[in-house]
Amino acid sequence: MGQIQKFISSLIIIISLVLVVTCNCIPMIHPLLYKKRVVPNCQTIVDCPDNMCTHPKEVYCIGYRCYCLK
């Protein structure tokens, strides 16, 4: 019984690490989970202000809102 619990907990850790490593691009989950600076009403990246984000982050227009994401 203890071996099954160890196996399942190991599997959960491995899957979470794989998800963290592979999702290092534009997030595919809902943007509201990211507490970033938000400017409403954009249709393209051009509509977002240039000085909105700091250096390592870039502006993305997702769901008609501007987000600063890595």
The reply to whether 56 falls in a domain is yes
The reply to whether 3 falls in a domain is no
DSSP assignment letter at 63: T
Residue-number span of the structural domain to which 53 is assigned: 25-70
Identity of the residue numbered 50: D
Number of domains in the chain: 1
List, in sequence order, every residue forming a beta bridge with 68; answer none if it has no partner. Answer: 59
**Angstrom distance (rounded) from CA 20 to CA 5:** 23
3-state secondary structure of 15: helix
Of the given ranges (2-6, 40-44, 65-69), which has the lowest mean pLDDT?
40-44
Length of the chain: 70
- pLDDT, one tens digit per residue, over 8-55 is 999 888 887 777 666 554 455 555 555 555 556 788 888 888 788 888
3-state secondary structure of 22: helix
The reply to whether 7 falls in a domain is no
Q: For residue 50, what pLDDT is reported?
A: 79
